[in-house]
Amino acid sequence: MSDNSPSQAAQRSLTAVLNRRMLICIFTGFASGMPLYLLIQLVPAWLRDSGVSLAEIGLFSLVGLPYAWKFLWAPFMDRINLSLGLRRGWMVVAQVGLIASIGLMGSVDPLTQTTWVATLAVVIAVLSATQDVAIDAYRRELLPDAELGLGNSVHVQAYRISSLVPGSLALVLADNLPWAQVFWITAAFMGVGVVMSLSIKEPVREQRPPSNLQAAVLEPFLEYVHRRGWQSLVLALAFMVLYKLGDNMATALSTPFYLDLGFSKTEIGLVAKNAALWPAIFGGLVGGLLMIRLGINRALWLFGGIQMASILGYAWLAASGPILWMLAAVIAFEYLGVGLGTAAFTAFIARESSKTFAATQFALFTALAALPRSLANATTGVLVEYVGWVEFFLLCTVLAIPGMLLLFWVAPWSDQGRPSVSPSQPPSLD
């Protein structure tokens, strides 16, 4: 029987799925997603429930800036080896810090101690971004090339599933328990990350870390410019900022929006969050399968169009009022678009990253993708209070257009993908 027979191919696929590396990717995704969803889902609900204005809640989006700046300290994490190892050491330090800071946040009064709330939120964001850098680097070293696609897909889906804790369970608990207890219960789930970090082994490295900080910082930029050119760099970076701008803004104040419409916290926890999660996971998986036939470029066009159209559902809901089935339907369609768009967008970022500098370039590109969530989202509360919810969602739809127009240059429909590596080597700083 041939080595390429269907039965042996299926056996190899099953072996790739059922191994310890995939299990580790489940835990890395859960630990990585928890702090972010706490900041963008639980904290806004807590602030609104405590009487904080929408304008102030919108400004709290700025605490997400460390996710956009994480590439600045990533080179230090490649060089400073902590006691548990280069990757595990940084993961444990960040995770223990997250447990403490998340738990303490619930003991602060949002109305009279706003500065402390903001400070703790920034600390959580910095620690979360640091954990992401360490986890992404660990996962890149852990997975063989043949398992990169599957391992990262498992990580992303576990990342999304982690939103059930701060975005669903915590909101249901908040209807029955004081917020201080809710935050400590939520913080305890980060113990999953600590257990994982202590039970795994540090990867065996074939290559030495960068010889100096200058090389660690500059060589990834020089490699990309050498491979693609300055014009491609500018267009690609603009696209990464703009492609999900409208979608990010539309969902920035989703929980306060549901509360303002008149839905209870339990309805939001049980209906809205689940209606968002599972369509996003379904969209991500289906999007990955469809890209095999469509290619990345066409997927960016088609999925981006669905992503943009789905924002209009929020305007429809805002004009209709608190109808529970409509809430579920609108959110399901929106997050189906989110899942499809994210699948294509993540594939584009992976294609733009070279294999040699995948960790640093991926960190830079994902940091740029987080800019709309941190900067533009800070204006959402002011915009809603000025124009109203319906007009706000219509504006978000319009703001999605520039990212789609950039596809003419960065991902033409007829071009099924350019090579991501150059046959020649970039200049070295060593």
Q: Which CATH superfamily is domain 8-209 in?
A: MFS general substrate transporter like domains (1.20.1250.20)
Q: Which mean pLDDT values do the consecutive 10-residue runs of the chain (430 residues) have?
A: 50 57 88 92 87 79 78 78 85 96 91 86 93 84 66 77 88 90 95 93 67 67 80 87 87 86 84 76 71 78 91 93 90 84 75 64 74 70 90 94 93 64 40
Number of residues that this document lists for the chain: 430
Q: What's residue 309's pLDDT?
A: 92
User: Which pLDDT tens digit goes with each residue over 8-50?
Assistant: 544 554 454 567 888 898 899 999 999 999 998 898 888 888 8
Torsion of CA 151, 154, 155, 161, to 10 degrees: 180
User: Which pLDDT tens digit goes with each residue over 42-101?
Assistant: 988 888 888 888 777 877 777 777 887 888 887 777 777 788 887 889 999 999 999 999
Can you give the pTM of this predicted structure?
Answer: 0.67
Q: How far apart are CA 408 and CA 217, in angstroms?
A: 31
HSE of 373 in the Cβ direction (CA atoms, 13 Å)?
23
Q: What's residue 427's pLDDT?
A: 41
Q: Nearest CA to 400 among 306, 277, 293, 313?
A: 306
Q: Cβ distance 247 to 341 under 8 Å? A: yes
Choosing among 3.30.9.10, 3.30.70.360, 2.130.10.10, 1.20.1250.20, the CATH entry for 211-430 is 1.20.1250.20
DSSP per-residue codes, 365-400 = HHHHHTHHHHTGGGGHHHHHHHH-HHHHHHHHHHHT
Q: Cβ distance 128 to 36 under 8 Å? A: yes
Q: What's residue 422's pLDDT?
A: 38
85 three-state secondary structure: strand
* Domain range annotation of the chain: 8-209, 211-430
Q: Cβ distance 174 to 265 under 8 Å? A: yes
Q: How far apart are CA 180 and CA 417, in angstroms?
A: 50
Q: How far apart are CA 430 and CA 423, in angstroms?
A: 20
Q: What's residue 318's pLDDT?
A: 93
Q: What's residue 358's pLDDT?
A: 57
Q: What's residue 127's pLDDT?
A: 95
Q: What's residue 87's pLDDT?
A: 84
Identify any residues that bridge with 85 across adjacent strands, giving them in sequence order.
82
